[in-house]
Amino acid sequence: MDADGLMPPWRRRLHDGLAALPQQRRRRLRSFRSTEGVALLEEPGDAPAVPLLDLASNDYLGLSRHAAVVGAAAAELDASGLGAGGSRLVTGTRPVHLQLETALADWLGRERVLLFPSGFQANLAAVSALADRHALVCADRHVHHSLLAGVRASGARLVRFAHNDLADLELRLAQARARKPDQTRLVLSESLFSMEGTSPNVPALAALCRRHGALLLLDEAHALGVLGRGGRGLAHGLEGVHLISGTFGKAFGSGGAFLAGEALLGDWLLQASGAFRYTTALAPPLAAGALAALQQIEAQPQMATALLARAHRWRQELAAAGWRRPAGHGPILPLLVGEDGAALALQQRLEAAGLLAVAIRPPTVPAGTARLRLVLRQDLPPGSLPRLIEALGPAPSPFPL
């Protein structure tokens, strides 16, 4: 309370906002310990940890516990310490940062790569580098929140196009081009959408952007290591994809992120991006782990091939069991449930059966499309799918739109 015994306006705003939040959309933190594909759920109190088969995390290739990846991170920890101790332009750059940037540039066929501590930060930097308050940004309806935050930070005008709908995008680009031919136009999309499991036709998307003189920023966070030739993502080898963002917290089993593009963009980010310049550099052990993971991905492309084959098999079996076939072809399999309460109840049913799959609710997804987000990893034990189908029980009827 303030001096007059009244609740300050800022406190009232937060209090009222929380009070208006439906109980089924309130979030809470839950503590997990991960060991060999099992998530140990540790609830408050003295209750023993509950082991759950992990069908929720993004460690697609199981590299977070790979001996070579963990060993490289441990060796760098011993050599360099835990943190970088400064920004990249002060004292934060270590040899491992430069090695990782060079290796990624070679692998992706890009002229320049810059590392960031997080994917959110990389996307903020990417949008701000390509757009300003005079620009128009056309964003897929389901792009990640970090990209939309980047648009707000840039001051650009935002329009949204229907998910993976290139006809809708072309209409909006043509209208914008007719109104202001010289205006910067930037298109935002993802190569594997994290909550939908879907992918756009990236070659057609890139060609469309070229026809209309638009820049294209493609978030490849969930695709790298899994989709495309050798796991290089869906933008590899394509003209017209000006900048890609990627993270090490998914298939690479580490942490941190990067942007990859032509030399001009890389130099502009180095000189002008506050998101790059004014932050402590990526922790050296994480960079070392990511470099070792990249070496594993290059040496064992069969990991991704086997994972995609397994994803196809899971989609077929889930559809045969009466569920709507999860969209896409990657390792993210959303099971649409509909209402928030139904999705939470299904999550709890799976946990009772020893399976961890998290209910995704609005505002992360549109109202009425709450879902379980199933995630496959190449190291899941045999028999995981029959166990899941038995625990799921009958599919909802009718299906949500």
Q: What's the residue count for the chain? A: 401
Out of 80, 146, 189, 194, the active site residue is 194
Quick check: is 16 in a domain?
no
Q: Is 15 a catalytic residue?
A: no
pLDDT in tens, 95-105: 999 999 999 99
Q: What is the CATH number of the domain that holds 351?
A: 3.90.1150.10
Q: Is 340 a catalytic residue?
A: no
Q: Does residue 104 sit within a domain?
A: yes
Same domain, 165 and 242: yes
Whether residues 285 and 313 share a domain: the answer is no
- Of 278, 299, 320, the residue that ends a domain is 299
Q: Are residues 230 and 247 in the same domain?
A: yes
Active site (annotated) includes residue 242? no
Domain-embedded: residue 366: yes
CA–CA separation, 192 vs 304, rounded Å? Answer: 14
Q: Is residue 21 part of a domain?
A: no
Give the C-alpha separation, 95 to 83, whole Å: 14
Q: How far is CA 95 from CA 80, 200, 247, in A?
A: 10, 36, 20
9 part of a folded domain: no
Residues 248 and 388 in one domain: no
1 lies in some domain: no
Sort strands 50-54 and 355-356 into parallel, antiparallel or unpaired.
Answer: parallel
Which of these is catalytic: 57, 58, 164, 199? 58
What's the pLDDT score for residue 399?
Answer: 61
Cβ neighbors of 42 (< 8 A, separation 6 or more) are 31, 32, 33, 49
The catalytically annotated residue of 222, 242, 273, 340 is 222
Residues 51 and 78 reside in one and the same domain? no
What is the pLDDT, as a whole number, of residue 3?
61
On whether both 291 and 317 belong to a single domain, the answer is no
Instruction: Note whether residue 386 is domain-resident.
Output: yes
CB-based burial, 289-323: b 16+ in 10 Å, e otherwise: bbbbbbebbeeeeebbeebbebbeebbeebeebeb
Regarding whether 323 and 228 lie in a shared domain, the answer is: no
- Look at the chain and report how many structural domains it folds into: 2
Q: Last residue of a domain, which of 299, 324, 339?
A: 299
My answer on whether 282 and 350 are in the same domain is no
* Active-site residue (options: 144, 199, 245, 273): 144
Q: What is the pTM of this model?
A: 0.92
144 belongs to the catalytic site: yes
Write the CB contacts of 112 (distance below 8 Å, at least 6 apart in sequence): 101, 105, 260, 261, 262, 263, 265, 266, 267
Do 201 and 346 lie in one domain? The reply is no
Q: Report CA-CA distances (Å) from 232 to 109, 143, 297.
A: 9, 20, 9
Q: How many CB atoms are closer than 10 A to CB 398?
A: 7
Is 95 found in the same domain as 159?
yes
- pLDDT at position 401 is 56
Task: Supply 166's token pair.
Answer: 């290139």
Residue 398: cis peptide before it, omega within 30 degrees of 0:
yes
| Same domain for 147 and 36 | no
Catalytic residue flag (residue 250): yes
Q: Pick out the chain residues at pLDDT < 50.
A: none
Token couple for 164: 């993976």
Identify the domain containing residue 96 by its residue range: 67-299
Domain end, chosen from 283, 299, 315, is at 299
Annotated active-site residue 222? The verdict is yes
Among residues 140, 190, 220, 340, the one annotated as catalytic is 190
Selected catalytic residue, list 54, 140, 219, 340: 219
Q: What is the pLDDT of residue 50?
A: 77
In a domain, 11, yes or no: no
CA distances 273 to 130, 197, 277, Å, are 11, 31, 6
Active site residue 58: yes
Domain harbouring 217, CATH code? 3.40.640.10
Choice among 66, 97, 142, 250 that is catalytic: 250
